[in-house]
Amino acid sequence: MVNLNVKFCGVDFKNPLVLASGILGVTGDSLRYVVQCGAGGVTSKSVWLKRHKGHPNPVIIANEYYMLNAVGLPDAGIEKAKDELGKFLKEGSAPLIASIVAGKQSDFGDVAEEVSKINPHILEINISCPNVDDEFGKPFACSTIDAAKVVEEVKKRTKLPISVKLSPNVSNIAEIAKAVESAGADAITAINTVGPGMEIDIDMRTPVLANRVGGLSGPAIKPLAIKAVFDIYKAVKIPIIGTGGVLTGRDAIAMMMAGATLVGIGTAVYYRGAEVFGLAVKEMKEWCKNEGVKNIEEIIGAVHL
C-alpha cells in the first residue's frame, strides 16, 4: 500500500495532483469531473472582481511540445464565480484552491474578501499572468516590492491561507518568493506560463495568435518549472505547488523531489484528457512500489539532501 496523502496549509489532499488554474476550472461541474478523474484537489480559473474580456481569437495553438495561449483571463466576474465555486464546495468532494486576479493592488483586496465569503480551502493570488499588465505596466510578480504589497493587502482582507502564484519571467524567482514569504504568504505556486512567446504562420506572413504573443506551457517548460521550484525550496520555508509541464506520474515525482508538496497539472489535460489525473496517480503508485516508498511525503525535496 502506498500512501499518497499530503497536507498542505493544514488542508488534507488525498493525492498531490491538483488541477492548475485556467484549465477546465470554469464551472462547478467541470471541477467535479476532474475530481472524479482522480485529482486530489482543484484550482479554479482566476476570478476578477468585475466581468473581464479576454483576447480575440485565435487564442491557443499547440503541438506535441508546447501550448501557446493568449486567452487573456476572460471571466464573468465575482458573483458568477461565487455561484459556480459554491456549488462545488457544497459537494465537498475535494479541496478547492480559488484563484483570484486583479489589475490594481486595492482590487486584489476586494476580490479576496468577496471570494472568502464562500470559504474555499485556499486562495491563490495570480500576480503573474504575462498577458495582463498591472497598473504600472508589468505583472506584480516581476517586482519584490509590488508582489509584497499585494500579499499584504490580501492578508488584511482574508483569514484563508494564501498561495502566491509566481512568474518564471524574472531574473531571480527565489528573491520574489522570499519577499512574498516575508509579507505573509502561506505558500507559493510556481510557475505561471513562460514568455510571452510568438509563433508565425509563414504562409500568411503573420503571427498565429491574434494577440500576437501568448504564454508558453506544456512539456517544453518542465525543466524551467523544476528549476524554479528547486530554487524556491532552497530560499523559503513555506510549501510549494509545483506547476509547469507535468504530464506523467514520473514528472510529478520529479517536481516533488525538487521541493513541491502539491503538483499542478494544466496543459497535460490537452494531451491526455482529464483522465491524466487517474493515470498519473497510478504511475506514481507504481514508482513508489518499485522504490519501496510507502509515504509520498518522504520524497518532497529529496534532491536537496
Ligand X SMILES: Cc1cc2nc3c(=O)[nH]c(=O)nc-3n(C[C@H](O)[C@H](O)[C@H](O)COP(=O)(O)O)c2cc1C
Annotated catalytic, 129?
Answer: yes
Q: Which of residues 95-124 bind ligand X (CB under 6 A)?
A: 99
Cβ proximity to ligand X: between 6 and 229 the closer is 229
Q: Which residue is nearest to ligand X (CB)?
A: 22
* Residues 167-206 within binding reach of ligand X (CB under 6 A): 192-193
Q: Name residue, grid cell 503541438.
A: 63
| 123 DSSP 8-state letter | E
Contacting residue, 38, 218, 239, 242, with ligand X by CB under 6 A: 218
The number of C-alpha atoms within 13 Å of 133 and in the hemisphere containing its C-beta is 4
Task: Tell whether residue 27 is a contact of ligand X (CB under 6 A).
Answer: no
Q: Please, which residue, 46 or 158, has the CB nearer to ligand X?
A: 46
Using the minimum distance from each CB to ligand X, give the nearer residue, 2 or 250: 250
R_g of the chain computed on alpha carbons:
18
Residue 55 sits in the site that holds ligand X (CB under 6 A) = no
Q: Which is nearer to ligand X, 17 or 148 (CB)?
A: 17
Instruction: Pick the catalytic residue from 9, 37, 129, 288.
Output: 129
DSSP symbol at 52 = B
x/- binding map, residues 134-163, to ligand X, per CB under 6 A? ------------------------------
End-to-end CA distance of the chain: 25
Q: How far is the CB of 294 from ligand X (least distance, A)?
A: 28
| 205 Cβ contact list (under 8 Å, min separation 6) | none
Q: How far is the CB of 290 from ligand X (least distance, A)?
A: 25
Q: Closer CB to ligand X, residue 2 or residue 207?
A: 207
Regarding 15 and contact with ligand X (CB under 6 A), the answer is no
Q: Are 47 and 202 in contact (CB under 8 A)?
A: no
**CB within 8 Å of 305: residues ≥ 6 apart:** none
Q: In terms of DSSP H, where are the helices of the chain?
A: 28-36, 78-91, 105-116, 144-157, 173-182, 222-235, 249-258, 268-272, 276-291
**Binders in 222-261 for ligand X, by CB under 6 A:** 243-246
> DSSP letters along 141-189, please?
GG-HHHHHHHHHHHHHH--S-EEEEPPS-SS-HHHHHHHHHHTT-SEEE
Q: Where on the chain is the footprint of ligand X (CB under 6 A)?
A: 20-23, 45-46, 67, 69, 71, 73, 99, 126, 165, 192-193, 217-218, 221, 243-246, 265-268
The residues assigned a catalytic role are 129
